[in-house]
Chain A
Amino acid sequence: MVAVVGIRGLSTRFGDVWVHRDIDLEVGRGEVVSLVGGSGSGKTTLLRQIIGLLMPTAGEIRLFGQPLFGGGVDRERALRRRFGVLFQQGALFSAFSVYDNIAFPLRELKELDEAAIRDLVMLKLDQVELLAEHADLMPAELSGGMVKRVALARALALEPELLLLDEPTAGLDPERSDAFVRLIRQLGSELALTVVLVTHDIDTLAALSSRVAILAEQRIVGYGPLAEVMAIEHPFVQGFFHSERGARALRDAGLR
């Protein structure tokens, strides 16, 4: 089976600084992979490369077995419609209401009529546990947790097979963060999504991931199930998982 995300020999350089050197990473269908690493380790850069916002200096990224770039506008667009992205701040269009934000990608298809779009938007709102009366609100009127939910609904509007999340729980209080993680997990299994997320929240990581990729020193120092990755002898891994906070989160997740 073709990997949903296939990264081979990826290197990135900003000016004189190497961010990644020769990274290989494969994400299979249905997996939930977390990218973790310290600040400045290039997690978000890698995510932006996967979604085609940044070009790697060297190496290749394939989604669903196809290269990200080339092959004409139509092919690129069709490929981009197969994944959805949840940006860290939500990146909702501030001039559109919640309804129009979610309807936007559907309207861009230019195939669905307005009644079908309305039904789908209402369904998406329900999927992310928002109410129909929230549809008329503007992004500025939403709380942080609601912004994330609307952004998730928008990311799911085109029925993607792959969902990419950049710090999905950053800026949420623990309770909302837990609720959001639960939502992602539930939707992930319900919609059979493959999920790649960047996080440094250890609770999110422990609750969601089927595999964890650890970025440090410009490469991936560990990639595997959480229990396996935790055992790696690396200063970052030790500091990250074996701090007091980390231990507590992992205990809650039943790993210790």
Chain B
Amino acid sequence: MTAGAHAADGELLIDVSAREGGGSSVVLSGRWVLAGIAAGLDGLEQRLAALAAAADTAWDCMPITALDSAGAMLLWRAWGRRLPGRLTAPAEQLRIFERIAAVDRQAPPAPRPRLAFAGLAELGESAIGFGRQLIDFVALSGQLLLDVLHLLRHPGELPGREISANLYKGGVKAMPVTALVGFLIGVVISYLSSLQLRQFGADVYIVDLLGMSVIRELGPVMVAVLVAGRSGSAMTAQLGVMRVTEEIDALATMGVSRSLRLLLPKVTALGMAMPLLVLWATAAALIGGMVAAQVELDVSYRLFIDQLPKAVPVANLGIGLVKGLVFGVFIALIACHFGLRVQPNTESLSANTTASVVTAITVVILLDALIAIVTRDIGIP
């Protein structure tokens, strides 16, 4: 009886015949290589196992033309991880089986012991991890403060070029997108408010509503979210890759302080750029709202501009700009913090970049709430 696992191309053949004096003899031939066996593995494994299970089977591997370790492993598994009693095989095949047997003899690595309170331990570990992150963050902020003091005594070491480069990357290049988003937000708020205001005939209050919300609240938060996604992620990724490629270590060996040369410029630049971006995006939002108010409510540009200073005390602009400064500094600090935590692998890089953006946005909202409480008596007409 002859049966090919691959009848079509006849690559793998298992030839079974009854032997004199009981038992059967199995002759294997063809190419027992990974490419050949992978396609019809299931049936093949069962067939071989069935043959191996029968008592007193003699195996003849001599006609096999090619046997690789995958093919050998298939036979080895079918034979119950040992050589069968009756086996005829050339020396080079026996060498392959010998190697497999040697691997089997190696003690398997001890499985990690499972703790009884694994879930609790994990919770504790993550709490400790969070605490450690907080400590790292405080240490980073403190280091930067020390750097600032150092710079006050040695003003010549101010990393001017780096600050300027970061200012350009994080500030100037963010101008188009912040203006566009700001303008559209202004249009949307103006449209939605106008629907309500018209019902009461309070058309002109659009200026109060729009001015207050955009200048004091929406402008800074909107820009912070955009900048966290744009510059925060870029900073984390840059620092992360510099850690992977050992560039940061190289800097350290040249006696260049990484915090002074890499981190401080980022924090300073974003702290400077953010208030300006807030001003810029707020202006765009007000223009957007003004246009929509003119179209929808017929509030003229002139009236809008006249009303704005009366409706919104100038203190609100100050609050908005201070928010911008605080948000900018925190976004950059968080980005640096996570950038320095990157381990040299791709998974860690992506995880830390995500963590950087998510944390930055969350912290921005938290700070915004905090500032709102602290400044609740300031700038309200």
Question: How many Å lie between the Cα of A78 and that of B70 in the bound state?
Answer: 17
| Cβ–Cβ contact B39 & A95, under 8 A | no
Task: Please indicate the chain A residues that have their CB under 8 angstroms from the CB of B70 in the complex.
Answer: 120, 159
Task: Please indicate the chain B residues that have their CB under 8 angstroms from the CB of A119 in the complex.
Answer: 73, 76-77, 100
Question: How many Å lie between the Cα of A136 and that of B41 in the bound state?
Answer: 27
Chain B interface residue count, Cβ-Cβ cutoff 8 angstroms: 27
Contact with B along A201-245 (1 / 0, CB 8 A): 000000000000000000000000000000000000000000000
Question: How many Å lie between the Cα of A191 and that of B343 in the bound state?
Answer: 37
Question: How many Å lie between the Cα of A81 and that of B39 in the bound state?
Answer: 14
B35–chain A nearest beta-carbon distance, Å:
7
Check: B109 CB closer than 8 A to any chain A CB. Answer: yes
Task: Please indicate the chain B residues that have their CB under 8 angstroms from the CB of A127 in the complex.
Answer: 69, 99
| Cβ–Cβ contact A112 & B103, under 8 A | no
Which of A120, A131, A138 sits near B69, CB closer than 8 Å?
A120
Task: Please indicate the chain B residues that have their CB under 8 angstroms from the CB of A120 in the complex.
Answer: 69-70, 73
| Cβ–Cβ contact A95 & B103, under 8 A | no
Q: A78-B35, A116-B77 are in contact. Are A123 and B345 (CB under 8 A)?
A: no
Q: A158-B34, A191-B68 are in contact. Are A126 and B73 (CB under 8 A)?
A: no
B6–chain A nearest beta-carbon distance, Å:
13
Task: Please indicate the chain B residues that have their CB under 8 angstroms from the CB of A136 in the complex.
Answer: 109
Q: A95-B346, A111-B41, A140-B343 are in contact. Are A123 and B100 (CB under 8 A)?
A: yes
Within 8 A of A (CB), among B343-381: 343-347
| Cβ–Cβ contact B34 & A159, under 8 A | yes
Check: B102 CB closer than 8 A to any chain A CB. Answer: yes
| Cβ–Cβ contact A95 & B345, under 8 A | yes
B265–chain A nearest beta-carbon distance, Å:
28
Within 8 A of A (CB), among B118-161: none
Task: Please indicate the chain A residues that have their CB under 8 angstroms from the CB of B255 in the complex.
Answer: none
| Cβ–Cβ contact A112 & B69, under 8 A | no
| Cβ–Cβ contact A126 & B346, under 8 A | no
Tell me the nearest residue of chain B to A82, going by C-beta.
B35
Check: A175 CB closer than 8 A to any chain B CB. Answer: no
Contact with B along A59-82 (1 / 0, CB 8 A): 000000000000000000010011
Q: A111-B38, A123-B99, A133-B109 are in contact. Are A94 and B69 (CB under 8 A)?
A: no
Tell me the nearest residue of chain A to B110, going by C-beta.
A133
Task: Please indicate the chain B residues that have their CB under 8 angstroms from the CB of A158 in the complex.
Answer: 34
Check: A132 CB closer than 8 A to any chain B CB. Answer: yes
Question: How many Å lie between the Cα of A237 and that of B124 in the bound state?
Answer: 65
Question: How many Å lie between the Cα of A111 and that of B40 in the bound state?
Answer: 8
Tell me the dominant secondary structure on chain A's binding face. Answer: helix
| Cβ–Cβ contact B347 & A159, under 8 A | no
Check: B209 CB closer than 8 A to any chain A CB. Answer: no
Check: A109 CB closer than 8 A to any chain B CB. Answer: yes
Tell me the nearest residue of chain A to B102, going by C-beta.
A126
Contact with A along B59-72 (1 / 0, CB 8 A): 00000000011100
Tell me the nearest residue of chain B to A94, going by C-beta.
B345
Tell me the nearest residue of chain A to B33, going by C-beta.
A159
Question: How many Å lie between the Cα of A139 and that of B102 in the bound state?
Answer: 25
Task: Please indicate the chain A residues that have their CB under 8 angstroms from the CB of B73 in the complex.
Answer: 116, 119-120, 123
Contact with A along B102-114 (1 / 0, CB 8 A): 1100111100000
| Cβ–Cβ contact A126 & B103, under 8 A | yes
Question: How many Å lie between the Cα of A78 and that of B36 in the bound state?
Answer: 11
Closest 9 pairs between A and B when the two form their complex, measured CB to CB:
A94-B345, A95-B347, A111-B38, A159-B68, A159-B34, A133-B109, A126-B103, A140-B344, A94-B346
12 residue pairs of the A-B complex, CB under 8 angstroms, read A81-B35, A94-B344, A95-B345, A111-B39, A113-B41, A120-B73, A124-B69, A126-B103, A131-B106, A133-B109, A190-B95, A191-B68
Query: Chain A interface (Cβ within 8 Å of chain B)?
Result: 78, 81-82, 93-95, 109, 111-113, 115-116, 119-120, 122-127, 131-133, 135-136, 138-140, 158-159, 190-191
Q: A116-B77, A140-B344 are in contact. List 5 more A-B contacts (CB 8 A).
A: A111-B38, A112-B38, A139-B345, A140-B343, A159-B33
